[in-house]
Amino acid sequence: MRFPFKPIPISLFTALFVALFLLLLFFFGRIAYLEIDDLENKFQAASKARAEREIQRALNLSIEHIEAQTEQLAKWEEVGQQLHNSMFYSYWYRHRAKTNHLISQHIIDVALYDLQGRMLSLIDTALLPESIEVQQVSDYVLMNQFEPLLVVIRPVWDAKGESLQGYVATLSRIIPQFLSSGQFNLVDIGTLSVDIGNTDRIASHELFGAIHYELISDDYADTLKRVMTESVLRLAGMAAILSLIIFPLAARIMSRPILQISQHIDLLKKHSKATVTSSFQQPLLIRELDKIRQSLNDYHNQLSDANTNLDEKRRQLNDLTQLDPLTGVRSRAAFDEYWNEINDVFQHSRGQVCLILFDLDHFKAVNDTYGHEVGDEVLIAVSQTLKNTLSDQEQLFRLGGDEFMAVLIGVNARKAMQIAKQVHLAFSRYPFKEIGILEPIRLSMGIAHTKPDNQASLASLQWQVNVATYQAKRPGQPNIILFTEEMANHAQGLFSSRTHSAVFDAISQGTGLIMHYQPIVNLENGEAQYFEALVRIVHEGKLIMPSHIFPLVEAKGLEVDLDRQVILKIESDLRSGLIPPGTGVSINLSAPCIIENELFDWLEALSPYMNDYKILLEITETAMITQMQKARAHLSRLQSMGFRIALDDFGSGYSSLRYLGNMPVDVVKFDINLTRLIDSQGKNPILNHLAQMIVECGHLLVAEGIESATSARQLGRLGFQYGQGYYFGKPAATIVKPALDRGYAEFSA
């Protein structure tokens, strides 16, 4: 998996870790602080509860105390007397009521009320109210200049306790009484206050709720909180400082050996043969990384061992590739090396260099027919012949397949030609029959040599020798060809990659493939009997001719594919009515196509036309037909399908008579060269007899390459029924009626 971002350095990771750690520290510190706060709140709540109890107790005691005094007053006989007779009430009030032993100093006023609740006598200094409500007597608290005062009212009964005399009321300063009644450990009494709100009085039991105070500050809780907070802060601060020191330090300790390893790998990358440096022999601080260091060193040692082995193997392989194992001749690799050396030398001192390229004809067919072992023997025979014929100064190489190259230094074209002829002679004497090969095997040779006046000739010498060999391989050409400049122009087109692709497009898809038709006439009356279909490829407005098509086709083994396209094209020409009904079509088939099993299906497509047309199949005689038996069987089957078989180019190549004897043939087409021989040596008895013999064997004879009326006439006399040649008509895209001029009229006369 690939990360979509750049790799991160350890330092940045460390910074991130530190930041994260500090964040966590802050988070936990905050939690600890809140816990301490919570603890403090709990402490305060407990103190408050205790303080409330302190207040409640003191309040109860002080109220009870004042109530008790008021009740004692109610029982005091002087009170009864005053209620009974209130004449001296103001005297009594002033001198007895507040000075008697029954009331404490905190009772600041006392008053007596009759049964209706009216004060016995109005006294202007009295603090208590002038009347009270007797229906519902109750104690209450009122505020006097921010001081709460408690009013306690008690009924006064007669001595027997049977009849109500009136009421006694006391007014007390409750706070001083309250303070003297209780013990306050938690309540800060200085902060004590009473607030009864907007009303003028509250019931005495409501007083507790109206008291406000603050707690005495709790030293213990405060100290605890301070100590705890300080501890948390100190711990967090220490952890933060440590993280700022420890993380970067740890990262540095970790990254240093990693960096060392990476630098070492870089060193090994730059110098694959570098030995392990002494610094990398020292153990690393971290065990796991040290294990990597050891493994790396081991791996490096293994690698350098393998490198040494590889170098050795490469050397051995180099030696091996210099020699071709089959023939013992030096290899293509050796040739390339040698050629480079020659180029170097040639740049300083100009000398004559000559190349001869040897190429076996139809070597693939030999392999297919006789098997690879025999094929190998043929190659050995070639190399033996070449070794025996060439001198020690002449360097021989096998370039691959059936191609051998001789490099001759200081040799001119004439001498090279001589050498090639010697090779040809020696090769033609080789007893191929002994290894079971009956057909003669042809060795094509191209020669190219440097010219003193041409600077670039060495660079193009290999190309030139190929062109020459190509020419030598063409049918009807001598097997030894010396490269000439005219050939160069001709070959430019032939070797151009555009020509190649045009040919291959035609073969694979039929693109640009057309047929030209040349009449084959009855020599008696000059009427066209057949039209020979001859293939052409239209490319960039020009025609590519068979002489250019076939070398490519044969080199790639595409003969069958080409013939397939030709049959399709002829079928469409027949369908379009191009060829006049009542005549015939002559189709050339290559040797590999004869033994192709699908040929019958392809030709079957022509059967609908066989009522209107005769169809002749020409088997070229120059190509070596392999698998004789199969070829014979196929030809017989084709005959039974209604096709006629012609042996083409008779007399131009291999074993003409052998084919004639072996193959079911209806027509024999004399090759143009043979025709010309008959023509020029009209009285040559052997040729005349050969022609007669063929006719007598029941074959129809066709003469190719008739270019004059005289030839036509002479050949007619020799028994040739048919003739073909420029005299009657050149191959053309349209059907041309044979244009018989005066010459032919003479002849027929």
Q: Which residues bind ligand C2E (CB under 6 A)?
A: 518, 533-535, 545-547, 563, 566, 588-590, 618, 620, 648-649, 672, 704-707, 724-726, 731
Whether 521 and 529 have beta carbons less than 8 Å apart is answered as yes
Whether 353 and 449 have beta carbons less than 8 Å apart is answered as yes
**Smaller CB separation from ligand C2E, 309 or 673:** 673
One-letter identity of residue 594: I
Return the structure tokens found at 366: 């030999």
**Smaller CB separation from Mg ion, 408 or 703:** 703
d(CA 450, CA 355): 9
**Closest distance of CB 564 from ligand C2E, Å:** 10
**Smaller CB separation from Mg ion, 377 or 704:** 704
Q: In sequence order, what DSSP letters do the residues of 440-456 get, joined into one string? A: ---EEEEEEE--TT-GG
588: contact with Mg ion by CB under 5 A: yes
Specify the DSSP element, H or E, that contains 644: strand 644-650
Q: Which does 513 bind (CB under 5 to 8 A by kind): Mg ion, ligand C2E, none?
A: none
Give the footprint of Mg ion on residues 661-720 (CB under 5 A): 704
**Closest distance of CB 694 from ligand C2E, Å:** 17
**Closest distance of CB 543 from ligand C2E, Å:** 10
**Smaller CB separation from Mg ion, 480 or 667:** 667
Which residue from 182, 186, 121, 129 is spatially nearest to 153, judged by alpha carbons? 129
List Cβ neighbours of 111 (8 Å cut-off, separation of 6 or more).
93, 119, 120, 123, 126, 128, 168, 169, 171
Q: Which does 639 bind (CB under 5 to 8 A by kind): ligand C2E, Mg ion, none?
A: none
Q: Which does 579 bind (CB under 5 to 8 A by kind): ligand C2E, Mg ion, none?
A: none
**Closest distance of CB 622 from ligand C2E, Å:** 8
**Smaller CB separation from ligand C2E, 207 or 513:** 513
How far from 273 is each of 270, 292, 299, 300, CA to CA, in Å?
9, 20, 13, 9
**Closest distance of CB 373 from ligand C2E, Å:** 30
**Closest distance of CB 366 from ligand C2E, Å:** 20
One-letter identity of residue 419: I
Q: Which does 141 bind (CB under 5 to 8 A by kind): ligand C2E, Mg ion, none?
A: none
Q: Which does 535 bind (CB under 5 to 8 A by kind): ligand C2E, Mg ion, none?
A: ligand C2E
Classified as helix, coil or strand, 589 is strand
List Cβ neighbours of 357 (8 Å cut-off, separation of 6 or more).
399, 403, 404, 405, 445, 446, 447, 465, 466, 468, 469
**Smaller CB separation from ligand C2E, 236 or 619:** 619
**Smaller CB separation from Mg ion, 174 or 615:** 615
Q: Which does 726 bind (CB under 5 to 8 A by kind): ligand C2E, Mg ion, none?
A: ligand C2E
**Closest distance of CB 489 from ligand C2E, Å:** 19
Binding string, residues 531-570; x marks residues near Mg ion by CB under 5 A: ----------------------------------------
**Closest distance of CB 587 from ligand C2E, Å:** 7
**Smaller CB separation from ligand C2E, 428 or 708:** 708
Return the structure tokens found at 682: 């009209």
d(CA 513, CA 572): 12
Dihedral angle of Cα 341, 347, 348, 349, to the nearest 10 degrees:
90
Neighbours of 19 (CB within 10 A): 12
One-letter identity of residue 253: I
d(CA 189, CA 210): 15
Candidates 259-267, 381-389, 497-505, 640-648 — which segment interacts with Mg ion by CB under 5 A? 640-648
Return the structure tokens found at 217: 């500050």
**Smaller CB separation from ligand C2E, 231 or 509:** 509
Candidates 436-444, 581-589, 605-613, 693-701 — which segment interacts with Mg ion by CB under 5 A? 581-589
List Cβ neighbours of 141 (8 Å cut-off, separation of 6 or more).
148, 149, 150, 151, 174, 194, 196, 201, 202, 203, 204, 206, 207, 210
d(CA 56, CA 51): 9
**Smaller CB separation from ligand C2E, 67 or 707:** 707
**Closest distance of CB 398 from ligand C2E, Å:** 31
One-letter identity of residue 469: T
- Cα of first residue to Cα of last residue in the chain, in angstroms, is 94
**Closest distance of CB 588 from Mg ion, Å:** 4
CA angle, corner 688, sides to 699 and 698, nearest 5? 15
Q: Which does 721 bind (CB under 5 to 8 A by kind): ligand C2E, Mg ion, none?
A: none
**Smaller CB separation from ligand C2E, 335 or 747:** 747
Candidates 401-409, 446-454, 480-488, 644-652 — which segment interacts with Mg ion by CB under 5 A? 644-652
Q: Which does 635 bind (CB under 5 to 8 A by kind): ligand C2E, Mg ion, none?
A: none
Neighbours of 237 (CB within 10 A): 12
Q: Which does 518 bind (CB under 5 to 8 A by kind): Mg ion, ligand C2E, none?
A: ligand C2E
**Closest distance of CB 550 from Mg ion, Å:** 12
Exactly one of 648, 665, 713, 723 binds Mg ion (CB under 5 A); that residue is 648
Binding string, residues 507-526; x marks residues near Mg ion by CB under 5 A: --------------------
**Closest distance of CB 672 from ligand C2E, Å:** 6
**Closest distance of CB 684 from ligand C2E, Å:** 20
618: contact with Mg ion by CB under 5 A: yes
Classified as helix, coil or strand, 672 is helix
Whether 120 and 130 have beta carbons less than 8 Å apart is answered as no
- 């023509």: which residue's tokens? 679
**Smaller CB separation from ligand C2E, 127 or 545:** 545
**Smaller CB separation from ligand C2E, 596 or 618:** 618
**Smaller CB separation from ligand C2E, 51 or 623:** 623
**Closest distance of CB 522 from ligand C2E, Å:** 16
Return the structure tokens found at 118: 């009216």
Burial of 183 (0-12, 13-18, 19+ CB in 10 A): exposed
**Closest distance of CB 585 from Mg ion, Å:** 12
Q: Which does 534 bind (CB under 5 to 8 A by kind): ligand C2E, Mg ion, none?
A: ligand C2E
**Smaller CB separation from ligand C2E, 63 or 619:** 619
d(CA 74, CA 153): 9
Q: Which does 545 bind (CB under 5 to 8 A by kind): ligand C2E, Mg ion, none?
A: ligand C2E
DSSP 8-state class, residue 97: I
d(CA 210, CA 202): 9
**Smaller CB separation from ligand C2E, 387 or 614:** 614
Q: Which does 58 bind (CB under 5 to 8 A by kind): ligand C2E, Mg ion, none?
A: none
Whether 110 and 97 have beta carbons less than 8 Å apart is answered as yes
**Closest distance of CB 500 from Mg ion, Å:** 24
Neighbours of 382 (CB within 10 A): 25
d(CA 618, CA 649): 9
d(CA 67, CA 137): 14
Residues that bind Mg ion in the complex, under the rule CB under 5 A = 588, 618, 648-649, 704
